[in-house]
């Protein structure tokens, strides 16, 4: 008597995909495990410091009556710079039909997905405890829509997270089972995600510029400077990620892709320098009291100069990065100079947030006080905890993504040459 095997249902294949994807992410060589072990150290220490903050409160941070925002906020503001970089990966692949980037678009979407999660985690730390988030949940809390700018940020971040998560795992699932993409569903999803990407930066900028107390943030250039930072720091991380993937995996990443993103960084850093120059002239030339926070960031006040060295170092680094990236030989140095510059761009944009944009802006206070922000060790380790946890998640997600793309993770019924078309 002959028995026929029933084909697996979509649900069964989804379970198999999830299982195979997760199992593949925990497999790797010495370099892979060493990297995860290095990050795990900060996670373990961060679990202790997180427990201290969650049980004690924000008193363990450097926040004060004068400077009410911590490192968590400045790090959160940096995350949309990277998350919106998915637009720069997807747009050439699907709108301009670049075949060398078609398969890599899902990597950009995965990076965006993870960095939205990192940003939301920083906000959780800013609130002090995760359970306080219920205040912003509709029905059980007070959402304050549409009067609060913060509610718009909650909407755009979570929608962008869902869009990229659906796009990533739908694409990978179809590749896993060897079926073509449903373009009627997938193409509008991609277009909507591309159109939605800039909003996560624009609304974040509006949170700052809508603060009535801090005049230095009342600038129409704020959203555009944030977008310029996204065009600089985002492709920087993408380049480093693609270079690592090309070195340690079988996935093909052509030089033309790296060259494209290095060109984007040049334009991003150049636009950022121009906007800084315009902003400095607009604030400093009239010499009104509104320029006091920027003057404090540049030269200090009455011998107190905590942010000046940071300001001049970061601005100098931006200029040096721009001119070095204009040199073709430097951009072609895929194994040394280019990744070094990309990491430098990522870090300089990150460090600009607390030392130039956020902390100096709170001085002088309405009482005329000039304050210095001094982060505590607990706060620093909590920031490192979030970054380490985020990069562990990013590493494992990208490991699974690459596994699906190269065919190491696929349905057992699919031929070797199968995959999403």
| Residue ranges of domains in the chain | 32-406
How confident is residue 417, by pLDDT bands cut at 50, 70 and 90? very low
- With a cut of 60, say whether residue 418 has pLDDT above it: no
DSSP class per residue in 23-86: HHHT---HHHHHHHHHHHHHHHHHHHHHHHHHHH-GGGSS--SS----HHHHHHHHHHHHHTTH
CATH node for 32-406? 1.20.1630.10
Q: State the average pLDDT over residues 250-254.
A: 95
Average pLDDT over residues 215-232: 93
Residue 63, pLDDT above cutoff 70:
yes
Does 130 score more than 90 pLDDT? Answer: no
- Could you tell me the pTM of the whole model? 0.95
Angstrom CA distances, 165 to 103, 174, 244, stand at 16, 14, 23
Strand partners for 301:
304
Q: Report how far residue 319's alpha carbon sits from residue 186's, in angstroms, rounded to the nearest whole number.
A: 40
pLDDT score for 6: 58
Q: Could you tell me the end-to-end alpha-carbon distance of the chain, in angstroms, rounded to an integer? A: 39
Q: pLDDT-based confidence at 129, cuts 50/70/90? A: confident
How much is the pLDDT for 394?
98
> Torsion over CA of 144, 149, 151 and 154, rounded to 10 degrees?
-170
- Average pLDDT value for residue range 313-332: 97
If you count them, how many residues does the chain have?
421
pLDDT tens column, 350-394 = 999 999 999 999 999 989 999 999 999 999 999 999 999 999 999
CA distances from 154 to 136, 144, 292, 387 (A): 9, 11, 32, 21
Confidence of residue 7 (pLDDT cuts 50, 70, 90): low
Percent of the chain exceeding pLDDT 70 equals: 96
**What sign results for the dihedral spanned by CA atoms 181, 183, 185, 191?**
positive
Query: Across the chain, how many H-helices and E-strands are there?
Result: 15, 0
pLDDT of residue 227 exceeding 50, the answer is yes
With the CA atoms of 77, 295, 63 and 136 taken in that order, what torsion angle do they form, in degrees rounded to the nearest 10? -40
| Phi, psi (degrees; rounded to nearest 5) at 358 | -95, -65
pLDDT at 328 over 80: yes
For 131-162, write each residue's pLDDT tens digit.
888 888 877 888 888 888 889 999 999 999 99
SS3 label, residue 296: helix
Average pLDDT taken over every residue of the chain:
92
Burial readout 238-255 (b: 16 or more C-beta within 10 A, e: otherwise): bbbbbbbbbeebebebee
Half-sphere exposure for 315 (CA within 13 Å, toward CB): 17
Give dist(CA 166, CA 170) in Å, integer. Answer: 6
Q: Count the Cβ atoms, other than its own, within 10 Å of residue 378.
A: 18
For the residues 257-278, what does the mean pLDDT come to? 96
State yes or no: pLDDT of 77 exceeds 80: yes
Neighbours of 188 (CB within 10 A): 10
Which stretch of 167-176, 225-234, 315-324, 409-418 has the lowest confidence by average pLDDT? 409-418
The reported pLDDT for the residue numbered 10 is: 85
Give the per-residue pLDDT at 1.
44
């Amino acid at each position: 008597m002959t028995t026929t095997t029933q084909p697996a249902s979509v649900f069964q294949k989804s379970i198999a995909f999830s299982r195979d994807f997760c199992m593949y992410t925990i497999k790797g060589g010495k370099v892979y495990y060493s990297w995860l072990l290095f990050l795990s150290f900060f996670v373990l220490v961060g679990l202790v410091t997180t427990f201290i903050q969650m049980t004690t409160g924000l008193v363990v941070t450097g926040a004060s009556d004068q400077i009410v925002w911590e490192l968590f906020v400045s790090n959160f503001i940096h995350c949309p710079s990277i998350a919106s970089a998915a637009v720069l990966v997807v747009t050439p692949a699907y709108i301009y039909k670049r075949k060398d980037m078609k398969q890599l678009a899902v990597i950009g979407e995965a990076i965006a997905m993870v960095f939205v999660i990192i940003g939301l985690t920083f906000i959780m730390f800013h609130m002090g405890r995760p359970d306080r988030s219920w205040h912003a949940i509709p029905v059980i809390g007070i959402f304050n829509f549409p009067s609060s700018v913060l509610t718009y940020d909650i909407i755009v971040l979570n929608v962008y997270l869902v869009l990229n998560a659906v796009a990533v795992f739908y694409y990978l699932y179809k590749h896993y089972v060897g079926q073509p993409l449903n373009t009627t569903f997938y193409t509008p999803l991609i277009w909507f995600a591309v159109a939605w990407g800039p909003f996560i930066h624009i609304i974040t900028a509006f949170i700052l510029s809508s603060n009535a107390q801090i005049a230095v943030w009342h600038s129409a250039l704020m959203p555009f400077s944030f977008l310029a930072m996204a065009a600089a720091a985002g492709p920087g991380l993408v380049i480093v990620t693609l270079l690592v993937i090309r070195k340690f995996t079988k996935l093909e990443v052509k030089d033309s892709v790296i060259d494209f993103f290095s060109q984007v960084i040049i334009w991003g850093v150049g636009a950022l320098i121009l906007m800084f120059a315009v902003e400095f002239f607009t604030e400093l030339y009239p010499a009104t009291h509104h320029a006091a926070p920027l003057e404090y960031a540049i030269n200090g006040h009455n011998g107190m100069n905590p942010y000046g060295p940071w300001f001049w170092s970061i601005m100098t680094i931006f200029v040096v990065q721009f001119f070095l990236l204009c040199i073709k030989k430097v951009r072609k140095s895929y194994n040394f100079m280019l990744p070094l510059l990309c990491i430098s761009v990522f870090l300089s944009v990150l460090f600009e947030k607390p030392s130039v944009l956020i902390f100096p802006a709170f001085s002088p206070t309405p009482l005329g006080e000039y304050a210095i922000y001094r982060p505590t060790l607990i706060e620093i380790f909590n920031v490192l905890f979030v970054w380490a946890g985020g990069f562990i998640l990013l590493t494992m997600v990208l490991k699974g993504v690459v596994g699906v793309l190269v065919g190491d993770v696929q349905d057992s019924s699919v031929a070797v040459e199968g995959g999403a078309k």
